[in-house]
Amino acid sequence: MARITVVGSGVVGQASGRGFLAHGHDVTFVDVNPSIVEKLQAEGLQACFPDEVNWSAADLTMLAINTPTVDGHIILDHLFGAVRTLAEGLKGSSRYQIVVVRSTVPPGTTSTTVRSLLESISGRIVGDSLGLAMNPEFLRQVSADQDFLEPWITVFGTAGPTEAGILGEMYADFNAPIVAVDCTTAEVIKYANNLYNATKISFFNDFHRVCQRLGIDSEVVGRTVARSAEGMWNPAYGTRGGWAYGGACLPKDTTAFYEFAHEKLGMELPSLWGTMRANELIGGGSTAPASMHEVVPTDVLISDAKESASHAAHVAISGALASEFVDMADDGKVGGPTGLNLTIEPALILNEAV
């Protein structure tokens, strides 16, 4: 059992803390919002304000702090403030503790600014008496508790093998594939995950406008493409960077349809324009092979497809399918040695695809 302090008890913080509680860990929730602290205490949970925490008592402190975007710029002040408070509380203690960034942050934030603040203020060194990790979340607001308890994947980046071993052991009981990488890679995975979802929504919104102009049912088009396009049902399709799309169909059809929409319908299709522009920028690389089987073993393709289909069915049955329309703006506000036998899926496996 690990002693865990969760700083920032919004949607992500509460789902994470409750999930670890369900697996037998000792969890203390921390927040600056009195209503949140009082609500958690009323439920019989350990909850307090930052100035009431014994920071050195935890085995792991998880920072689930809101990092909003304001006027196009990400605001990290709340996160860095929490890091400073934690670091002050760790002064004079030599007890090993892992600091885990759960917030969404720009690549490099954990290994540079967060690490620098922790070491300079606490006087402790990452890799010695202090561990550092980045553990992005893939939770949906409408089903956050369930998503944490039944994850489709777990990703964490660490500064060293000790942190990877401890986190691997903690997450092993959740029975999901584990991808263990460095902190910056974990940060990028989180953004790539969200940006892909946003891009997909924008693409189908563009085609919804086209269908409206043509007087046809966009829902029929969308539902059919979800079953016909290989990029929809093959989880590995298109995920190996460095390959421009090529072949007999994709280059000519993207150009032709963009011209049709612009000239015949008088419409802008920014998602399609961006697609063609991205292909131009990567054009110096190699064109993707005609078949996935040229670069990925058949058994890997089959396994990936089965896992993806199984997860999609589970999500559909759970009824939590509308999360892309949910505002997560109020999420997570906040004013050693293991020797374990772990089965951790290497990140390389996720890259063996086109």
Catalytic-role residue among 48, 183, 211, 249: 249
* Amino acid sitting at position 222: G
* φ, ψ dihedrals at 98, nearest 5°: -100, 130
The three-state secondary structure class of 245 is: coil
DSSP structure string for 155-214? EEEESSHHHHHHHHHHHHTT-S-EEEE-HHHHHHHHHHHHHHHHHHHHHHHHHHHHHHHH
CA atoms within 13 A on the CB side of 69: 7
**Rounded-to-integer distance, Cα 218 and Cα 221, Å:** 5
Kindly state the tokens that stand for 206. Answer: 């563009």
Q: Catalytic residue at 211? A: no
Give the residue numbers marked as catalytic: 249
